[in-house]
Chain A
Amino acid sequence: MSAIHEVYFSLREVDNYVCAFEEKYKISSAEFLRNTNPNIEVSEDDAFEWEAFIAQRRELQSLDRKTHREYLNALERHPHKVRKDTDFKQACFAA
């Protein structure tokens, strides 16, 4: 077993962290990454976290798109099976 603890945040949680930094410094993440405004001084610890959360958001968004694409591909390959599964789930919800 590894000594490293692993924790996971959802895309929404990561997005909230990114938004909190944008609100704190009153600049967008794009402006922060471009680093063009000399009047905005982001603390080193905040800069580290902000950059890390932006990278994590990018990764989660990419995974999100990949999962959605694979779902759509599965739908094209096996439309009846997916539809049956969906019908079954809807029937369960209705029940």
Chain B
Amino acid sequence: MSTDADYLNFRRKFDQSYGKLKLPPCCVELKPPTASNVHLYSWAFDWVLVFADDNKYLRVRESHEKVAGLDLSRRMGFVFHYGPIAQRDTDGSIIRQSNDPVDIRIDNSRGRVHMHYRAPDPHYGQENIKGLTLGSLGMLAFVRAVFQHRKSGKPISEILGFQIG
């Protein structure tokens, strides 16, 4: 699992990358980059982008915790999701069910890192993925890959450099 020294380091690196990131014209932030309950070595992060032209969304979430006995934090949980919006709540927030269609989703729910690709099932574990270490993928690399996929039409698998087998 990837590590960041602490929240200040995470924030500085995020801001540097965010400053260089160009959102596509049809893309709006439904939820801006948000960190909750920030302490030096623990925080949760959430960011939701919506693509108005085809009703898809991208959501990246991470939770970071302190490494016991060390002045270091590490990413414990993460969810990187891109796919169609199936349902919205009355306040406009996105409601997701586990059987909703998905373009790509990488997460480590219940401690097992896996990928959903072009369908909610099956869950591809790392043993089925060649060319990409799922647990090492950064959220901004995921976001940039989705932007590139949308712009070029290339499959995300080609952009991220993985094969399922």
Q: Which residues of A contact B (CB under 8 A)?
A: 2-9, 14, 35, 42-45, 47-48, 51-52, 55-56, 59-60, 63
Contact = CB atoms under 8 A, between A and B. Distances in A.
A7 B36 contact: yes
Contacts of A56: 36-37, 42, 44
Contact of B96 (A45, A47, A59, A60): A45
Contacts, number: 75
Given A8-B38, A9-B37, A47 B110 contact: yes
Contacts of B76: 51, 55
Interface string B28-42: 000011111111001
Nearest to B63: A52
Interface of B: 11, 14-15, 18-19, 32-39, 42, 44-45, 61, 63, 65-66, 76-77, 79, 96-98, 107, 109-111
Contacts of B45: 4
